[in-house]
C-alpha cells in the first residue's frame, strides 16, 4: 500500500544530512536506506545503495523523483540461466 498523501515522504535523517552537507562536493554517498524517497536535493548525486551483499552505484536523475532508492539497486541477478559458463554440456 502506498504512503498517505498527507504524510511527508520518508527520507533517512542521516542520508538527508549527508546530502545537504556534500551537495557541492559531488561526493559518492553510501547508504543502506533502500526505503528513502528520492527528492529534488538528490539530483546530480551518485549514491551507493546496499543490496545485501554489495553496494550498487545509482546516479540520480530528474525522472527518479518520487521513487525509492531500492528500486534502482537490484538484489537479484538477471539472466543467470542463459549464461554460457553455467550451462552443462
Measured in degrees and rounded to the nearest 5, phi and psi for residue 61 equal -120, 170
pLDDT of residue 24: 84
Q: Give this prediction's pTM.
A: 0.79
* Cα→Cα distances 18→27, 77, 85, Å: 10, 30, 41
Residue 71 in any domain: the answer is yes
Q: Which of the two residues, 47 and 80, has the higher pLDDT score?
A: 47
Q: Residue 36 sits in which domain range?
A: 13-76
35 lies in some domain? yes
Q: In this structure, what C-alpha cell is assigned to residue 46?
A: 551518485
Q: In this structure, is residue 3 part of a structural domain?
A: no
89 has pLDDT over 80:
no
* pLDDT computed for residue 53 by the predictor: 92
> How many domains does the chain divide into?
1
pLDDT digits (tens, 9 = 90+) for 26-67: 889 999 999 999 999 999 999 999 999 999 999 999 999 999
Alpha carbons 5 and 44: distance in angstroms, whole number: 26
CATH number of the domain that 22 lies in?
A: 3.30.860.10
Q: Return the pLDDT at 87.
A: 58
Amino acid at each position: 500500500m502506498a504512503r498517505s498523501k498527507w504524510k511527508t515522504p520518508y527520507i533517512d535523517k542521516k542520508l538527508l544530512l549527508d546530502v545537504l552537507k556534500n551537495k557541492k562536493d559531488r561526493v559518492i554517498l553510501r547508504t543502506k536506506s533502500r526505503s528513502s524517497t528520492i527528492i529534488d536535493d538528490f539530483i546530480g548525486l551518485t549514491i551507493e545503495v546496499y543490496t545485501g551483499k554489495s553496494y550498487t552505484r545509482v546516479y540520480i536523475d530528474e525522472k527518479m523523483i518520487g521513487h525509492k532508492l531500492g528500486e534502482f539497486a537490484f538484489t537479484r541477478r538477471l539472466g543467470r540461466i542463459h549464461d554460457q559458463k553455467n550451462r552443462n554440456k
